[in-house]
Amino acid sequence: MGIPLVQVDAFTDKPYGGNPAAVCVLSEAQPDTWMQRVAQEMNLSETAFLLPEGDGFRLRWFTPTVEVDLCGHATLASAHTLWSEGHLASDQEARFYTRSGLLTAQRQGDWIELNFPADPSQPIQTPEGLANALGATPVAVVENALGYLVELAQAATVRDLQPDFAALGKFPVHGVIVTSRGEAPYDVVSRFFAPALGINEDPVTGSAHCGLSPYWREKLGKTTFLAYQASARGGVLQVEDRGDRVVLRGQAVTVLRGELLY
């Protein structure tokens, strides 16, 4: 008997868009080495592993190379899987115990609402070589728990970036968020590069918006905004800033069901 696996496209309402994540709902704990090897086999930006615990689930996220502390799109995919595969009733809150504390998810019509911790940033001097690695001149650079957050002057510049991933991977951070004011209907546009985590570009990054939310709250003078992550696959997020928490809303689509054999 294999272990069920579901692949979900997150932050999209159409198959083969957004950010794909694999989700395994486990009936018993598995070794860390096994989970890491499965994530490497899946070769997606994240593979999520869920194990029932108390009134919720222990949730862990693995890239092909490392375990991470927080992942938005794989949490969205996990919640979607719990409801769509019958692990939770459709009106039941999903509760996840993680390295980043308790995270919750609720269904809001066709959308899923995630409650995440905010990731405030601190201004820093532009690191030497960062502009060259990105191929663009920053308006501002700040740093948060995820890495560097780089503001550029125009959305078109964000969309057209072709970074030097080898150079970006040498900076002492998990990743680099690049952002600007958006173009209608979007308030904010961004991309996320994380070669140090084995992901040159993440298609849609929920955790990045935990930092983008407090950053743009101050600049836009508003606590709710519509965000677009301008990767090749693209993804849409509704973002609500609640001070020390950030609410992210997105949609998700199941694209594959199978089982792991070993």
Residues labelled as active-site residues: 46
DSSP assignments along 143-157, one per residue? E-SSEEEEE-S-HHH
β-bridge partners, 117: 245
Q: How far apart are CA 205 and CA 2, in angstroms?
A: 30
Q: In three state form, how does the secondary structure of 83-135 look?
A: HHCCCCCCCCCEEEEECCEEEEEEEECCEEEEEEECCCCEECCCCCCHHHHHC
Question: Among candidates 104, 146, 78, 143, which has minimal Cα distance to 247?
Answer: 104
Which DSSP helix (H) or strand (E) runs through 210? Answer: helix 208-220
Which region, left, alpha or beta, applies to residue 129 given φ > 0 means left and ψ of -120 to 50 means alpha? left
Three-class SS of residue 167? helix
Q: How far apart are CA 158 and CA 154, in angstroms?
A: 7
Q: How far apart are CA 7 and CA 245, in angstroms?
A: 28
Terminal CA-CA length for the chain: 9
